[in-house]
């Protein structure tokens, strides 16, 4: 990846983080900076990196560049509540994603059901498919909530639904993790990898349905299943994954994912408690969100951006420690404190710069 392209992604991700704190400094009502916080990271940076990784050209293709430009347009349109043009842009984005998916995989995702298809490729195609489906569904939700009013579901809010854009980024990260397990198929390992693929993908889909229906007990059951799948993935990767430098970052990422499983379950349980209010547990939701976006997802995107550069000159343990402090302490605190927000942005600026621009081993310096 070129220096210019890495700089673009650094600015995008850091800008997304800043929008997560901007409510402390600027009153933008009735607009929500949280939308830009989510879109710039998951859709603009995450979606573009997914296409970049899929196309494997080392540079942004015309279609990936178009995706980046249109996703930025989409983020601005939704932020300012220009919903009608956002519908058109969303559909154009879905077409770009599907075009890339079909070219590199197939029209129907038959690979999901092939025993010989590497699980890493299954996760990769699932990431693209989830991204395109999410874009189409968001179009339907916007059209329903703002214009048609055909379905009335309390949880079917735009801001809740838009959080789903983080799932394609999660899936592409899992694709990278399982690519280092492609050769580990002895015994029952292959079967366990297949179980992980289906449990994670179907589990999230079912879980989202239970959220919309407000079925708390069912959410707990699915969360336990998803947590078990994540723990199994971590054990497989830690024990059988290739012993390379990326392993430190990706293992840390899976640990972040386990944190999100625990925090997500804790929040669901909190909703069932007497006297529960969203404000009272807002901090827990923020820990969950930052562990997911700027912990787990960031690990995967960072490794993809430097995919062909490893090994690189950096002190992995120190960097991982900084990442955990920034994602689980500084960033959640920054939602409530201006000082913490400034420190969190500075910490992530250092973190992203080191990850994206650290020299390859042997380049000197």
User: In the prediction, which pLDDT does 162 show?
Assistant: 66
pLDDT band at 119 (very low <50, low <70, confident <90, very high): very high
- The whole-angstrom distance between residue 251's C-alpha and the CA centroid of its chain comes to 16
Task: Please check the confidence at residue 143 and state whether its pLDDT lies above 70.
Answer: yes
Alpha-carbon gap, residue 215 to 199, rounded angstroms = 19
Torsion of CA 172, 176, 177, 178, to 10 degrees: 90
Contact 297, 336 (CB under 8 A): no
How do residues 38-55 score in pLDDT, each as one tens digit? Answer: 899 999 999 999 999 999
Share of the chain above pLDDT 90, in %: 49
Residue with the bigger pLDDT between 181 and 350: it is 350
How do residues 234-253 score in pLDDT, each as one tens digit? Answer: 898 888 877 777 777 788 88
Alpha-carbon gap, residue 296 to 254, rounded angstroms = 6
Contact 68, 76 (CB under 8 A): no
User: In the prediction, which pLDDT does 313 show?
Assistant: 59
Strand intervals (E) in the chain: none
- Residue 41's CB is within 10 A of a number of other CB atoms, namely 27
Alpha-carbon gap, residue 347 to 361, rounded angstroms = 24
282: which residues sit within 8 A by CB, 6+ positions away?
none
User: In the prediction, which pLDDT does 365 show?
Assistant: 37
Residue with the bigger pLDDT between 37 and 358: it is 37
pLDDT band at 200 (very low <50, low <70, confident <90, very high): very high
Contact 46, 301 (CB under 8 A): yes
For residue 113, the 8-state DSSP code is G
User: In the prediction, which pLDDT does 165 show?
Assistant: 82
For residue 360, the 8-state DSSP code is B
Alpha-carbon gap, residue 299 to 78, rounded angstroms = 27
Q: Is 280 exposed, middle or buried (0-12, 13-18, 19+ CB in 10 A)?
A: exposed
How do residues 285-333 score in pLDDT, each as one tens digit? Answer: 899 999 999 999 998 898 888 877 766 655 577 888 999 999 999 999 9
pLDDT band at 61 (very low <50, low <70, confident <90, very high): very high
Cα three-residue angle 328-15-360, rounded to 5 degrees: 75
pLDDT band at 3 (very low <50, low <70, confident <90, very high): confident
Q: Mean pLDDT, the chain, as a whole number?
A: 87
Alpha-carbon gap, residue 306 to 294, rounded angstroms = 17
Average pLDDT estimate for 178-190: 82
- Residue 182's CB is within 10 A of a number of other CB atoms, namely 13
Task: Please check the confidence at residue 334 and state whether its pLDDT lies above 50.
Answer: yes
Among 135, 131, 130, 122, which Cα is nearest to 195's? 122
Among 143, 98, 157, 92, which Cα is nearest to 125's? 98
Contact 180, 229 (CB under 8 A): no
Contact 307, 53 (CB under 8 A): yes
What separation in angstroms does the CA of 359 have from each of 106, 244, 261, 347? 37, 17, 34, 20
pLDDT band at 364 (very low <50, low <70, confident <90, very high): very low
Residue with the bigger pLDDT between 22 and 150: it is 22
Alpha-carbon gap, residue 40 to 48, rounded angstroms = 10
Residue with the bigger pLDDT between 154 and 293: it is 293
Contact 259, 291 (CB under 8 A): yes
User: In the prediction, which pLDDT does 363 show?
Assistant: 45
Alpha-carbon gap, residue 291 to 270, rounded angstroms = 18
Q: What is the pTM of this model?
A: 0.91
Among 335, 252, 267, 333, which Cα is nearest to 297's? 252
HSE value, Cβ hemisphere, 13 Å, CA-based, for 21: 22
User: In the prediction, which pLDDT does 45 show?
Assistant: 95
Task: Please check the confidence at residue 102 and state whether its pLDDT lies above 70.
Answer: yes
pLDDT band at 147 (very low <50, low <70, confident <90, very high): confident
Terminal-to-terminal C-alpha distance of the chain: 20
User: In the prediction, which pLDDT does 70 show?
Assistant: 97
Q: Among the listed ranges 49-63, 70-84, 230-244, which one has the minimum average pLDDT value?
A: 230-244
Among 141, 130, 208, 222, which Cα is nearest to 168's? 130
Average pLDDT estimate for 254-281: 85
């Amino acid at each position: 990846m070129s220096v210019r392209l890495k700089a673009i992604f650094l600015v995008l991700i850091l800008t997304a983080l800043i929008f997560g704190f901007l409510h402390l400094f600027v009153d933008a009502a009735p607009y929500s900076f949280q939308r830009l916080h989510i879109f710039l990271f998951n859709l603009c940076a995450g979606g573009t990196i997914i296409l970049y990784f899929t196309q494997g050209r080392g540079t942004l293709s015309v279609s990936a560049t178009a995706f980046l430009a249109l996703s930025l347009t989409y983020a601005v349109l939704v932020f300012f509540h220009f919903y009608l043009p956002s519908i058109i842009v969303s559909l154009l984005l879905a077409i770009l994603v599907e075009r890339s998916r079909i070219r590199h995989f197939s029209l129907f995702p038959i690979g999901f059901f092939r025993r010989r298809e590497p699980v890493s490729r299954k996760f990769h195609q699932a990431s693209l498919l989830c991204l395109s489906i999410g874009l189409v569904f968001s179009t339907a939700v916007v059209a329903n909530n703002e214009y048609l009013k055909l379905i009335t579901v309390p949880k079917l809010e735009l801001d809740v639904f838009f959080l789903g854009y983080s799932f394609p980024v999660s899936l592409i990260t899992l694709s990278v993790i399982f690519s280092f397990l492609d050769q580990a198929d002895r015994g029952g390992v292959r079967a366990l990898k297949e179980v992980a693929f289906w449990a994670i993908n179907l589990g999230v889909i079912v879980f989202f349905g239970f959220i919309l229906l407000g079925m708390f007990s069912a959410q707990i059951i699915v969360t336990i299943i998803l947590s078990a799948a994540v723990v199994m993935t971590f054990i497989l990767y830690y024990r059988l994954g290739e012993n390379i430098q990326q392993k430190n970052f990706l293992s840390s990422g899976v640990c972040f994912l386990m944190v999100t499983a625990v925090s997500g379950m804790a929040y669901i349980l909190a909703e069932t408690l007497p006297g529960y209010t969203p404000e009272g547990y807002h901090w827990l939701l923020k820990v969950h969100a930052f562990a997911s976006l700027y912990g787990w997802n960031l690990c995967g995107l960072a490794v993809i951006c430097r995919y062909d550069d490893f090994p690189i000159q950096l002190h992995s343990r120190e960097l991982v420690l900084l990442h955990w402090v920034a994602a689980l302490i500084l960033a959640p605190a920054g939602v409530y404190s201006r000082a913490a927000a400034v420190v969190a942005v500075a910490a992530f600026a250092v973190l992203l710069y080191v990850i994206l621009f650290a020299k390859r081993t042997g380049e000197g310096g």
